[in-house]
Structure 1
Amino acid sequence: MAEPRNRYSTVSLILHWLIAALVVTQIGLFIAHELTEGPISREFVSIHKSVGLSILVLTLGRLGWRIANPAIPLPDTMRRWEKLLARGTHVLFYAFLIGMPLVGWAASSAGGRDIQWFGLFAWPLLPIEGGREVAGQLMDMHELAAKALYVLLALHVAGALKHHFIDRDNVLHRMIPWIPRRP
């Protein structure tokens, strides 16, 4: 009988950490936008849009990969509620990492604001009207989702650290392979 996989595939690892780095970048870009004014502030917003759309594309790719390559089974030592919380957290991550860029894209589209993907090409706008009012409502949703995402990120990191330092299992090793595997 083949031994079950004990870590995620290289593709899964690359997508996970690349998307994580881009999410952290988004937070930094938003803070930089808030702390500046004028053309530099607008440049931070432009980059924020490009990174957000990149997160959308990468997350859709990751979801496709995940469907084709199901997740590693969680440890048998985990209680049922922990497994449900872990799976629910992952589902919510997919929802936020797809939904937030879509809402941001819709806001730009409703407001008639062009999106230049890293200055390389014009990203097509969605056929949404409503002007500044609809764009503002969509941005309110986008910002509220960002706050919820912060909570989800904290929960995710806390869970990973709990597994490593309290449960002393190999859950964190599955996503950070250079952490030695415990017997």
Structure 2
Amino acid sequence: MAEPRNRYSTVSLVLHWGIAALVLAQVCLITLHEGAPDGAPDPYIGWHKSVGLSILVLTLVRVGWRLMNPALPAPPGTPTWEKVAARTVHVLFYVLLIAMPMTGWLASSAGGREIEWFGLFPWPLLPVEGGREAARSLMGLHGLVMKGLYVLIALHVLAALKHQFLDRDNVLHRMIPIIPRRP
């Protein structure tokens, strides 16, 4: 009988940490964009859109990978409410990591603002009507999704720290293999 897996696959790790790094890059890019002087050239929003669309594609790949490679089971003795909470947070992560770039893409499309993916090729706009008013509403939704994503990130990090330092159950080792496995 095969020994049960005690960590996620390399593909899962690369997708998880790659998307996490891109989300952090988004925070930096939008902060730089918001701090740019009015009227000055602003390369940050173009990069922000490209990174956002990359997050969309990678999240769709991650969802597909996850469907083919289910999550590891919770450690023995994990209360049912924690299992339900973990599953809920993960599903909401996927929903928001798709909704976030989609609302940005829809807003750019509604406003007729072209998107160049890292300056390499034009990203197609979606067939959305409504002009600036629709774009403004969609950007409001984009901001709301961002706040939800921040809440999920905080919950996720706090849960990981709880598992590492209170439960001491090797859950963090599954996603950060350089952390030594506890006996």
TM-score by length of 1: 0.97
1:52 aligns with 2:52: yes
2:28 maps to what in 1? Answer: 28
CA deviation after TM superposition for structure 1 residue 3, in Å: 1.7
1:39–1:122: structure 2 CA closer, same or farther, 3 Å change rule?
Answer: farther
Q: Distance in 2 between matches of 1:95 and 1:177?
A: 27
Aligned length: 182
Q: Which residue of 2 aligns with 1:136?
A: 136
2:85 counterpart letter in structure 1: L
Superimposed CA distance per residue, residues 54-102 of structure 1 (whole angstroms, 9 cap, x where no aligned partner): 0000000011111111111111221100111111110000001111111
Letter in 2 for 1:179: I
Return the alpha-carbon distance in structure 1 between the equivalents of residues 83 and 33 of structure 2.
38
Deviation, structure 1 residue 112: 0.1
Which amino acid letter does the alignment assign opposite residue 177 of structure 1?
P
Say if 2:72 is the partner of 1:109. Answer: no
Output one character per residue of 1:124-172: Cα deviation in whole Å (capped at 9) or x when no partner. Answer: 0000010000000000000011011101100000000010011111000
Gaps of 5+ in 2: none
Structure 1: runs of 5+ lacking an equivalent = none
Matched, 1:98 2:98: yes
- Is 1:179 the counterpart of 2:144? The answer is no
Structural RMSD (CA): 0.8
Identity %: 67
Matched AA of 2:50 = S
Query: How far did residue 2 of structure 1 move?
Result: 1.9
1:26-69 CA-to-partner distances (Å, cap 9, x unmatched) read: 0111111111133443x111100000000000000011111111
Q: 2:99 and 2:17 mapped to 1: Cα distance?
A: 19
Secondary structure in structure 2 of the residue aligned to 1:116: strand
* Equivalent position SS for 1:78: coil
TM-score by length of 2: 0.97
Matched, 1:163 2:168: no
Aligned to 1:148: 148
Distance 1:123 1:44 in 2: 17
Q: Which moved more, 1:68-77 or 1:109-118?
A: 68-77
